[in-house]
Structure 1
């Protein structure tokens, strides 16, 4: 019960938080909505005046006046409805775009371990699919639900004033219809939530197929993936069928309840008309109000069906927003200018306690010094880089920068001061400019060209078909692994970090690209502290010291020249290994 109350609080807090920035527009919209409803409720009175006037032999002028009033009200009602629809769309788009941005920002703030619990397809479905459903809720559903409830209340009040027996009868059957709608809604909502979760899994599965299509085809796995594809669809069907059947049962129940109520009202109205208690105009007005009452209840039934989908999406959005990062940010924002000193003090790390990745490693890198990490795949080299950037937290020990525990630093500021050149560079399907600046519009083209000059990449830049406007990952420019690292080097150079982590590409590069990378790396690492995860002897030549890792432990640590001269050292043996490098 407590958790249900807590969920409802969070639910309404989320809804209100996205209506609050648009409260002026929302207030104006509600005022206009009252106008629309008022006109809608007044028109049956005009019809009564016209019919009673015609039966009583009133003048032609009076009847024309009633007709013109009816037409004028109808036109004004349509104009106000247009304003309500337009304003609702504006509010809906602003609210959902704000929510989409908040959800994306929250996901990016999570630690890597938590992020890895979601596939890329699931994230796309939550940030786009669920939010798109909520766009209907914020722009149309909320307003229409409010309007329909107000119309129902208005109609019942009017019918009570016209004839209390008819008003009471319809009030009872309206309450009964809403009771049925609410009960069936509660039964259907879990199925809609489950359907959205399967939908998310489905898109996550599709994403994994698209990402690994070459491996799947080359290893003959297409049949197995199609079988899995069929299995997900089969599990989706019964859940969706149950949710939709409950929606149809809601429709049948409300139709039955309202049909009985309408029959009773027609009976009461007919008897009172025959007794002379009601005029023909009043009876027709009651029928008009009866139609006005049935239509909103029908719409509410449909909207409750949409509301169930929206509730399922809100539930999944809340679930994502309530997923907290295991890594907490610190308060210190001033880490210090220039190069930084790094210290690992008895640091251990594991995903599974039974299989440690790092075992109490200890080393120090002084200002402007370069340390090369060497070891076989799985020895822990990349893990050191991830721990330094606080993508993960150590199981024990402490990592320090300039003598301070890195947990004391603000995460954003810490990562700004650490530049990471990965061997698996992720590029954007956009221009070279956007790939370097990562959409930061405050960076001018002159700044970018100056950095390209400073890194010695002008020759490479001049070979591009459209300069900074060259479309990356398109028919314009097919990027090699080496060129991807060149772009990554430019990204890092732009941020002017105090520490650089360079994870050299393990794939073989052509001589020209390799020389460009070496030249750019030398310039980037100059006057900066650096950690180099190397796969080539030539790259290690700029290292002052070498750390040799094996199964998460440091087996050798010393000056590069000394270890290289010792042919019995682990470092020298690693150089002979073609498979040098990895994680």
Structure 2
């Protein structure tokens, strides 16, 4: 198994296109968003008040021994601290709330978009990567709102406010305080660049890890059958090692940067104490001013340290946003411009000069022409890769044809509203997929219009009622993931019940009996005859014995129709069908 690794680079936070797209999701909550901006401004203003009032308390009241005034200033200071705490709480909660409701909306929009994607998209895209988009990437966006743009704006406003107050109190002491600022800016810039690379590595490692796990857990039977456990284990260790290295690298940068920032801050405070103490001794600077400047420096350096981290958080948010919007804006959807919504159809199917390729001009179907009239049963036979499954996928519009037309009752299937078209077609596949839920849910797929009585009636028709009733809970039995607790035959029978309860006018059976034993096959064949009565049916089967009663048999070879007729007429031709029949008779004899 090979898995293409994903590599992405961080984006630019001033990518206005991405920010505009993000704002579309903010719009429904713009009132709360503006309140968040107001709270950000309030915090920026409230932050410098504490050192200022402490300075006033020391210089104007403590130094002069005025107790009544000191008590009042303490009350005021406590009140401001309580107010700041309340504003901080409201800001933190609101930013988190906005982030969560927005990512909820984006995740729902993305999943709804994925539901409409054509199968070709899923053929070419690792599922683990889509899981990363829908979970990890979207989760990153929450940090954009809680620790990203609003927080950066708040930090910058706080810096401006603190500088303004410091210059107002003592411009000379302010200049001394800022002596170490260039060192902090340089170290912050270096950290920002290093952590940006580290964050890119982390995001790539997470995406690759998700993709590998999803693919290999799903294909675990193949890994074990071919004794590839050791090899896949080594590959997993390698991917996990990359994941660990990426995280450790980011931890290393943090562990270096913050102590360096603390040292620079300590040097700055030392200079302030040295210069301020000299001023105090010379009576040029008051003690309260010196103490407040020490507090201002602590407040000043903290936002600068945090901006680098938040800047990279915002960058990664922009990267995640770009990848999410790229997926949302992809044109890999089946066009659903049809408006025809018939309640009932007859089921006449006509393929006219149909050409189809999964990739570019590599056609798997070439100039296919045939008709299935209402109530007829047509069988498609041929070697693996002949194009049988492609035909049924095209009739259901899981893929789009390159040339020609497919019509039902004389109307091009492109003119049908997509859900209406598929409502009239029941498909039973060889590889039955069951969700980790009850049998009842897997049959009805959550359709409230299908009663339990209808389900059991359909189950009785195909001979599934007996085994369902024997299971603990009957229809409420949990089949686990992919129906792991059921046999292949039981899963196949459930898929038959699922097709019958929806009562479609067209039935498509894709190798529907190839995975069941002879006894179950005979049971299903009887049910199929009842199910097909009055319906248009297309059957794909390797076992030619199951389609001898078909009204028409179409023999496909390398994407072309080679022969068409009844079982007897095709045997009389002595061509492709005859050879297929002889090979099967030989294998049965062996």
Same fold by TM (over 0.5)?
yes
Q: In structure 2, do the counterparts of structure 1 residues 354 and 142 end up closer, same or farther at CA, with 3 Å as the change threshold?
A: closer
Matched, 1:67 2:74: yes
- Pick from 145, 150, 153 the counterpart of residue 157 of structure 2: 150
Matched, 1:58 2:62: no
How many angstroms apart in 2 are the aligned matches of 1:528 and 1:233?
A: 53
SS at match of 2:364: strand
Say what the alpha-carbon RMSD is for the aligned residues. Answer: 3.7
Question: Residues 427 and 507 of structure 2 are in contact (CA less than 8 Å); yes or no, is this contact kept in structure 1?
Answer: yes
Q: In structure 2, do the counterparts of structure 1 residues 85 and 351 end up closer, same or farther at CA, with 3 Å as the change threshold?
A: same
Residues 460-519 of structure 1, C-alpha deviations (whole Å, 9 max, x = no match): 443332133211127998222232233333433444434332113354424664355345
| C-alpha deviation, 1:179, in angstroms | 7.2
How many angstroms apart in 2 are the aligned matches of 1:515 and 1:463?
A: 21
- Pick from 575, 580, 583 the counterpart of residue 574 of structure 1: 580
Question: Residues 157 and 167 of structure 1 are in contact (CA less than 8 Å); yes or no, is this contact kept in structure 2?
Answer: no
Matched, 1:450 2:460: no
- Pick from 314, 321, 336 the counterpart of residue 314 of structure 1: 321
Task: Report what 2:35 is aligned to.
Answer: 28
Q: In structure 2, do the counterparts of structure 1 residues 278 and 435 end up closer, same or farther at CA, with 3 Å as the change threshold?
A: farther
Q: In structure 2, do the counterparts of structure 1 residues 173 and 528 end up closer, same or farther at CA, with 3 Å as the change threshold?
A: farther
Q: In structure 2, do the counterparts of structure 1 residues 150 and 467 end up closer, same or farther at CA, with 3 Å as the change threshold?
A: farther
How many angstroms apart in 1 are the aligned matches of 2:356 and 2:585?
A: 24
Question: Residues 155 and 293 of structure 1 are in contact (CA less than 8 Å); yes or no, is this contact kept in structure 2?
Answer: yes
How many angstroms apart in 1 are the aligned matches of 2:419 and 2:195?
A: 43
Q: In structure 2, do the counterparts of structure 1 residues 568 and 89 end up closer, same or farther at CA, with 3 Å as the change threshold?
A: same
Q: How is 1:15-164 mapped onto 2 (pairs within 5 angstroms)?
A: 15-52=22-59, 53-59=61-67, 61-164=68-171
How many angstroms apart in 2 are the aligned matches of 1:239 and 1:534?
A: 51
Q: In structure 2, do the counterparts of structure 1 residues 134 and 504 end up closer, same or farther at CA, with 3 Å as the change threshold?
A: same
Question: Residues 500 and 531 of structure 2 are in contact (CA less than 8 Å); yes or no, is this contact kept in structure 1?
Answer: yes
Structure 1, unpaired ranges of 5+: none
How many angstroms apart in 2 are the aligned matches of 1:251 and 1:339?
A: 74
Residues 154-173 of structure 1, C-alpha deviations (whole Å, 9 max, x = no match): 21222233234455676797
Residues 11-47 of structure 1, C-alpha deviations (whole Å, 9 max, x = no match): 2133213322222333334444444444433222332
Structure 2, unpaired ranges of 5+: 1-10
Q: Is 400-409 or 111-120 further displaced after alignment?
A: 400-409
Count of matched residue positions in the alignment of Structure 1 and Structure 2: 573
How many angstroms apart in 1 are the aligned matches of 2:220 and 2:272?
A: 65
- Pick from 425, 434, 438 the counterpart of residue 427 of structure 1: 434
Matched, 1:224 2:231: yes
Question: Residues 465 and 476 of structure 1 are in contact (CA less than 8 Å); yes or no, is this contact kept in structure 2?
Answer: no
How many angstroms apart in 1 are the aligned matches of 2:486 and 2:397?
A: 30
SS at match of 1:338: coil
Q: Is 271-280 or 168-177 further displaced after alignment?
A: 168-177
- Pick from 458, 478, 485 the counterpart of residue 485 of structure 2: 478
Q: Is 70-79 or 8-17 further displaced after alignment?
A: 70-79
How many angstroms apart in 2 are the aligned matches of 1:382 and 1:140?
A: 50
How many angstroms apart in 2 are the aligned matches of 1:473 and 1:576?
A: 41
SS at match of 1:358: strand
Residues 360-407 of structure 1, C-alpha deviations (whole Å, 9 max, x = no match): 111112233321111121111101112222222333332223333333
| C-alpha deviation, 1:6, in angstroms | 12
TM-score by length of 1: 0.85
Residues 104-148 of structure 1, C-alpha deviations (whole Å, 9 max, x = no match): 233333322222222222222222222233333334444433432
Q: How is 1:313-332 mapped onto 2 (pairs within 5 angstroms)?
A: 313-325=320-332, 327-332=334-339
How many angstroms apart in 2 are the aligned matches of 1:202 and 1:331?
A: 40
Q: In structure 2, do the counterparts of structure 1 residues 174 and 312 end up closer, same or farther at CA, with 3 Å as the change threshold?
A: farther
Question: Residues 130 and 313 of structure 1 are in contact (CA less than 8 Å); yes or no, is this contact kept in structure 2?
Answer: yes
Q: In structure 2, do the counterparts of structure 1 residues 258 and 525 end up closer, same or farther at CA, with 3 Å as the change threshold?
A: farther
- Pick from 204, 221, 235 the counterpart of residue 214 of structure 1: 221
Q: In structure 2, do the counterparts of structure 1 residues 265 and 509 end up closer, same or farther at CA, with 3 Å as the change threshold?
A: same
Question: Residues 423 and 505 of structure 1 are in contact (CA less than 8 Å); yes or no, is this contact kept in structure 2?
Answer: yes
